[in-house]
Amino acid sequence: MLTEINFDGIIGPSHNYAGLSRGNIASASHAGDVSQPRAAALQGIDKMRHNLALGLPQGFFVPLDRPDAPWLATLGTTPEAAEPHLRAQAWSASSMWAANAATVSPAPDSADGKCHLTVANLVTMPHRSHEWPGTLAQLRLAFANPAFAVHAPIPAPFGDEGAANHMRLCSGHGAPGVEIFVYGVGGGRFPARQHLDASKAIARHHRLDPWRTLFIRQSDSAIQGGAFHNDVVAVANEHVLFTHETAFEDREAAHAKIRAAFPAVEIVEVPADAVSLPDAIKSYLFNAQLVSLPDGGGMGLVVPTEARETPAVWNWLEAHVAGNGPIRRLLPVDVRQSMANGGGPACLRLRVVADPATVDPRFIADADKLDRISEVVTRHWPEAIASADLASPALVADVRRARTALLEMLDLAALN
């Protein structure tokens, strides 16, 4: 049975605030803050527990080995000797944002009937450009079954940020869908991270039907306003597209193209005069998990608690739920440690539509396993990391030990 499984990135022991992502307002404004890796990871695990308790299938990916010494070696340096900006780039725990791990096309969309995954190259940001080898190793393990085809990254310089710039409309997750690739065009103060040529190459590799594949331009004003990924201003689930008025460069043409390709679409648009773009970005209203609740419960919106604290956003949501809209339940979760680096509930997960029986069970969560992961995190994850700590060889040893303890507990030591 094909079903949607959310794979969350477990927040790694090296989580820190280094202000590495130009165009990501939260990352810039928290640069130099002291991070709390243990609390961060426990928040992420609680989100998984929360979604599991809703009856939603849940998987996870493990953190990558950081600081990335082999990557620093390609630059002729080491974690001890690296200049501070390179050291911070090597230390980043950014693989927690699994929405950027890969683009996923479920089997019913592909000509060969396989579920295709292309690992994202993330070349726009140096600290993310070295995630893909470690991510690819996990994808190859988790999705080794012939039901899947896992692809190498699109080559540089065609930037690809994975599922964060990709949406899918369908009548049900297991039915054929329309895939929407949202790309940006560079030239502004902040970079456009998703390149049209990368999106088109992925669509070809995934053997998508050109009639059911759309390429839509992200709006410059959204990118320049801080929406560095499309999933900061839009999210889709089944027949619903939940979007801010400013998400697409040519709003009318974009909506028309979407309606033509998928006539059953229900576009729930939040006007800018109800929720401003800055409020949408600050609250991460759209970086929510729009999920189909089991047993005909309609759709739920898993929002960050920041949405509840932003009056314009909460008023809009409450009015929507009180009316006849498709979102029936608001489900706030606390992922503040990730939010402070610009990662909301939707950034932390990769959606894969598959039969759970075809996924390597080591990557599938249940309540017991989440308890065991929590125990390892509580015992081994550092409590706090300040910028100056990144130079400490003792801390390097601690975070490596922490990750190894997790891999061993999960029987995933092969990833070491």
Return the active site residues.
161, 229, 347
Q: Residue from 103, 110, 341, 387 that binds ligand SUG (CB under 6 A)?
A: 341
Q: Residue from 13, 37, 342, 382 that binds ligand SUG (CB under 6 A)?
A: 342
For position 20 contacting ligand SUG by CB under 6 A, the verdict is yes
* Sign of the alpha-carbon torsion through 192, 346, 300, 355: positive
Instruction: Give me the sheet containing 349-354, strands edge to edge.
Output: 58-61, 3-9, 349-354
SS3 content of the chain, % helix, strand, coil (to 5): 40, 20, 40
For position 232 contacting ligand SUG by CB under 6 A, the verdict is yes
For residue 398, the SS3 value is helix
Stretch that binds ligand SUG, among 3-11, 18-26, 255-263, 370-378 (CB under 6 A): 18-26
Q: How far is the CB of 27 from ligand SUG (least distance, A)?
A: 4
For position 199 contacting ligand SUG by CB under 6 A, the verdict is no
Specify the residue, 270 or 385, whose C-beta has the smaller distance to ligand SUG.
Answer: 385
Q: DSSP of 295-334, one letter per residue?
A: TT--EEEEEEHHHHTSHHHHHHHHHHHHTT-SEEEEEEE-
Q: Residue from 6, 21, 36, 289 that binds ligand SUG (CB under 6 A)?
A: 21
For position 11 contacting ligand SUG by CB under 6 A, the verdict is no
Task: Please list every residue from 115 through 144 that binds ligand SUG, using CB under 6 A.
Answer: 125, 128
Q: How far is the CB of 251 from ligand SUG (least distance, A)?
A: 21
Q: Residue from 24, 36, 219, 310 that binds ligand SUG (CB under 6 A)?
A: 24
Specify the residue, 85 or 259, whose C-beta has the smaller distance to ligand SUG.
Answer: 85
Task: Please list every residue from 158 through 197 that binds ligand SUG, using CB under 6 A.
Answer: 164
Task: Please list every residue from 81 through 120 that binds ligand SUG, using CB under 6 A.
Answer: 92, 94, 97, 99-100
Q: Calculate ∠ Cα 37-39-43, nearest 5°.
A: 115
Specify the residue, 71 or 212, whose C-beta has the smaller distance to ligand SUG.
Answer: 71
Stretch that binds ligand SUG, among 134-142, 318-326, 340-348, 389-397 (CB under 6 A): 340-348
Please check whether residue 318 is in contact with residue 274, taking contact to mean a CB–CB distance below 8 angstroms: no
For residue 266, the SS3 value is strand
The b-or-e profile of 217-234 (16+ CB within 10 A means b, else e) is bbbbebbebbbbbbbbbb
Q: Residue from 79, 153, 300, 343 that binds ligand SUG (CB under 6 A)?
A: 343
Stretch that binds ligand SUG, among 13-21, 53-61, 102-110, 146-154 (CB under 6 A): 13-21
For position 226 contacting ligand SUG by CB under 6 A, the verdict is no
Burial of residue 412 (number of CB atoms within 10 Å: 0-12, 13-18, 19+): middle
First to last CA, the chain: 32
- Count of residues that bind ligand SUG according to CB under 6 A: 23
* Sign of the alpha-carbon torsion through 351, 93, 227, 293: positive
Stretch that binds ligand SUG, among 4-12, 17-25, 311-319, 325-333 (CB under 6 A): 17-25
Inter-CA distances, 128 with 105, 215, 240, Å? 22, 24, 31
Residue 280: alpha-carbon gap to chain centroid: 17
Q: How far is the CB of 341 from ligand SUG (least distance, A)?
A: 4
Specify the residue, 41 or 410, whose C-beta has the smaller distance to ligand SUG.
Answer: 41
Cα gap 347→369, rounded to integer Å = 22
* Sign of the alpha-carbon torsion through 152, 154, 159, 162: negative
Cα gap 99→163, rounded to integer Å = 5
Positions in the binding site for ligand SUG (CB under 6 A):
17-21, 24, 27, 92, 94, 97, 99-100, 125, 128, 164, 228-229, 231-232, 341-343, 347
